[in-house]
Amino acid sequence: MKLAISLLSVFLAPVFARAYAVANALPLDGVIKTADVILKITALSSEKTEDESFKRYPHWSAFSTKMKVISVLKGNVSEKEVNFRHYDEDLAGNQGYMFSPQHYHFTVGQSYIIFAKETTKPGVLRMIWDFHRGIEDQGQILAADDKPVAAGIDAKTAVWNELSNLCAGDNIVQVQYGISHLNSMSGGSDRFDGTNDFPRDKVLVILAPLITHKDPAIASTAIASVGSRSPYLNADYSLGWLATIGKGTLIPRGNAKYPDKWDNPDGRANMTRLIEVGDKGATASLRALSIRALGLCKDKALLESLGKWSFDDAAEVRSAAAILWSDFPGDQAGVQLARLAADPDAAVRRAVATAVGFTQSPRLLSLLSTFLVDKDESVRTAAAASLISFDVKDAGALLKSFRNNSDFHASFIDALALEDPKPWLDDLAQIVAKNDVPKLQFVSQMPVYTSWQILKAEMDTHSAEELVGGEFDKYLDALDHPPDIGSGPFQEMYQFYRDKHLNDRAAHFRAEAKKRITGYDIDYYLKRVDGEK
């Protein structure tokens, strides 16, 4: 697998949908079963090749990598060298792409364990599948050395040994590779790239000491892996956590939630090391990451350190402390968050705004009223996201106060209308008719589409006789202009008219949709509602 390791790759996050269907990563036992041949090899050369069995995709080409065979772990391979056919990036073409096949890159002189399929050609192997799973290069494992695998060692044990040895090495990138792979292969990730191939406690014996590694890059990867059950590691995933713990109805739309009973036992078991790095880490970023990795530990033994971190000279550390205060809702957290709310650094104020949402404490909502007019856009965005995560019964007054602010307008109206749409029908119709997009994006689903859905659902509660009386014309007129995000909303609206037997409106809607939509044949999709060919 690729050596370009990003910390984001080991951060745990709710699942986000890809633009095309991707199967989850296959457990290692399944990969072993799928492969005809498993080898430990050294890459000798890697070049583009012509192979009719490989389809052509933008940015990707078929490659043939010549390999020296070190050990045979499965299959009948007598050759000392084999050619392995696979996809790799065609950097010379440098084309944009929307699809990735299964692919591998091999560094000449580096050793690997590969999982392969046999071909009809002697000495020629092929990658195990063409369409990638959750791990795009599953079937390739970086090896720690070029030594033969000891007799009697099976493929799964060989993979464990190579990854363990990588973690004990001194090549920074390779150590990071070993850490991240052991983490994701031991339940450290609940995303589509996670598996449970190795016991978590056995993996932590290797990873935990690396938390205090002298190299910040290695320490960061170890911290992110050991603390992967903290929802606070990455600010990019705050919406997922707000959707999980929040009581609002808007924010879950378009956001995957964390699994039930989310906890951070690995962080709790390694608190001493994480606190040590939080106090004495080589960089502010490393210290902040270590503090965030303590999320959900909720041990009162943290409070003394948390108090110190809240006054740290580094804004990153103060920001991390602000987030961690959300684990201790109460008077002490309230005092600290109120003080940090006036911090001169926008990143700290943004963290406080997020922490308010994480606490779900109505007593702290007053802090958000200040943040919603903050001079920094990112602070206003974080405050808005936290506000809509609250139950409307608690957040309603603030939502109403700021509903006409162009930063938030459609989203705040949506949050109010999801609780009770009737008072907000005119606002919803105006948002849809004018395609009124708020300036700030702090929800995953397009606000105008949410407005359209709420308005349509309310109209659906009325009978056909009520709908033709004229009282609802302005709402139906607005619904005739769904956001152009594909054929779905147009089919829904056309189906609505057909179900209500509003045939004149249905015909008018179909004709206007044909005029409006030029990027694809909308009439084709509307015909399907009527069962037309």
| CATH of residue 323 | 1.25.10.10
The candidate with the shortest Cα–Cα distance to 372, out of 345, 406, 343, is: 406
Domain end marker among 402, 421, 440? 402
User: Can you give the pLDDT at residue 353?
Assistant: 98
Task: Kindly state whether residues 253 and 121 are assigned to the same domain.
Answer: no
Task: Kindly state whether residues 55 and 187 are assigned to the same domain.
Answer: yes
Record the tokens describing residue 215, joined without a space.
């190299």
Q: What range defines the domain where residue 78 resides? A: 7-197
Task: Kindly state whether residues 372 and 242 are assigned to the same domain.
Answer: yes
- Is-contact 290 274, C-beta < 8 A? yes
Query: Please, is 420 exposed, middle or buried when counting C-beta atoms within 10 Å of its C-beta (0-12, 13-18, 19+)?
Result: exposed
How far apart are alpha carbons 274 and 264 in whole angstroms? 13
The candidate with the shortest Cα–Cα distance to 286, out of 220, 382, 356, is: 220
How far apart are alpha carbons 444 and 225 in whole angstroms? 26
Length of the chain equals: 533
DSSP 105: -
* Neighbour count for residue 305 (Cβ, 10 Å): 19
The answer to whether residue 465 sits within a structural domain is no
How far apart are alpha carbons 167 and 176 in whole angstroms? 7
Domain end marker among 357, 372, 402? 402
Place of tokens 């503090």: 291
- Is-contact 118 47, C-beta < 8 A? no
Task: Kindly state whether residues 186 and 256 are assigned to the same domain.
Answer: no
Helices and strands (DSSP H and E) totals, the chain:
24, 6
Q: Which CATH number characterizes residue 97's domain?
A: 2.40.50.120
User: Can you give the pLDDT at residue 2?
Assistant: 37
How far apart are alpha carbons 323 and 312 in whole angstroms? 14
The answer to whether residue 241 sits within a structural domain is yes
- Is-contact 389 243, C-beta < 8 A? yes
Task: Kindly state whether residues 72 and 182 are assigned to the same domain.
Answer: yes
Helix segments in 281-345, DSSP class H: 284-292, 303-309, 315-324, 331-340
List all residues 6 or more positions away from 514 whose beta carbon is below 8 Å from its beta carbon: 522, 523
How far apart are alpha carbons 118 and 112 in whole angstroms? 18
- Is-contact 310 281, C-beta < 8 A? no
Task: Kindly state whether residues 181 and 238 are assigned to the same domain.
Answer: no
- Is-contact 42 5, C-beta < 8 A? no
SS3 of residue 61 by DSSP: strand
How far is C-alpha 325 from the chain's CA centre?
24
How far is C-alpha 53 from the chain's CA centre?
33
- Is-contact 65 103, C-beta < 8 A? no
List all residues 6 or more positions away from 17 whose beta carbon is below 8 Å from its beta carbon: none
- Is-contact 483 523, C-beta < 8 A? no
Record the tokens describing residue 175, joined without a space.
């150590």
Q: How many domains does the chain have?
A: 2
User: pLDDT 10s digit of each residue in the chain, 533 long?
Assistant: 333 333 333 333 443 334 567 788 899 999 999 999 999 999 999 999 999 999 988 889 999 999 999 999 999 999 999 999 999 998 776 667 788 899 999 999 999 999 999 999 999 999 999 988 888 789 999 999 999 999 999 999 999 999 999 999 999 999 999 999 999 999 886 655 689 999 999 999 999 999 999 999 999 999 999 999 999 998 888 999 999 999 999 998 888 888 888 999 999 999 999 999 999 999 999 999 999 999 999 999 999 999 999 999 999 999 999 999 999 988 999 999 999 999 999 999 999 999 999 999 999 999 999 999 999 999 999 999 999 999 999 999 999 999 999 999 999 999 999 999 999 999 999 999 999 999 999 999 999 999 999 999 999 999 999 999 999 999 999 999 999 888 999 999 999 999 999 999 999 999 999 998 888 899 899 988 888 75
Task: Kindly state whether residues 185 and 277 are assigned to the same domain.
Answer: no
Q: What angle do CA 522, 252, 396 make, to 5 degrees?
A: 110
List all residues 6 or more positions away from 374 whose beta carbon is below 8 Å from its beta carbon: 346, 349, 380, 383
The answer to whether residue 524 sits within a structural domain is no
Exposure class string for 315-337: b at 16+ Cβ within 10 A, else e: bbbbbbbbbbbbbbbeeebbebb
User: Can you give the pLDDT at residue 15?
Assistant: 37
The answer to whether residue 56 sits within a structural domain is yes
How far apart are alpha carbons 366 and 192 in whole angstroms? 39
Task: Kindly state whether residues 398 and 270 are assigned to the same domain.
Answer: yes
User: Can you give the pLDDT at residue 135?
Assistant: 81
Task: Kindly state whether residues 318 and 353 are assigned to the same domain.
Answer: yes
Helix segments in 11-52, DSSP class H: 28-34
Q: Largest Cα–Cα distance in the chain?
A: 84
131 forms beta bridges with: 101
Task: Kindly state whether residues 221 and 144 are assigned to the same domain.
Answer: no
Record the tokens describing residue 427, joined without a space.
């606002």
Task: Kindly state whether residues 248 and 181 are assigned to the same domain.
Answer: no
Sign of CA dihedral 458, 463, 467, 469: negative
How far apart are alpha carbons 524 and 390 in whole angstroms? 42
The answer to whether residue 408 sits within a structural domain is no
How far is C-alpha 199 from the chain's CA centre?
25
Place of tokens 């951060």: 11
How far apart are alpha carbons 533 and 522 in whole angstroms? 14
How far apart are alpha carbons 482 and 509 in whole angstroms? 11
The candidate with the shortest Cα–Cα distance to 483, out of 428, 440, 442, 524, is: 428
The answer to whether residue 504 sits within a structural domain is no
The answer to whether residue 152 sits within a structural domain is yes
Task: Kindly state whether residues 171 and 31 are assigned to the same domain.
Answer: yes
Domain end marker among 168, 197, 226? 197
Place of tokens 């699809």: 99
How far apart are alpha carbons 478 and 392 in whole angstroms? 26
Note if the pTM is more than 0.85.
yes
How far apart are alpha carbons 185 and 160 in whole angstroms? 10
The answer to whether residue 529 sits within a structural domain is no
Please compute Rg for the chain using Cα positions. 28
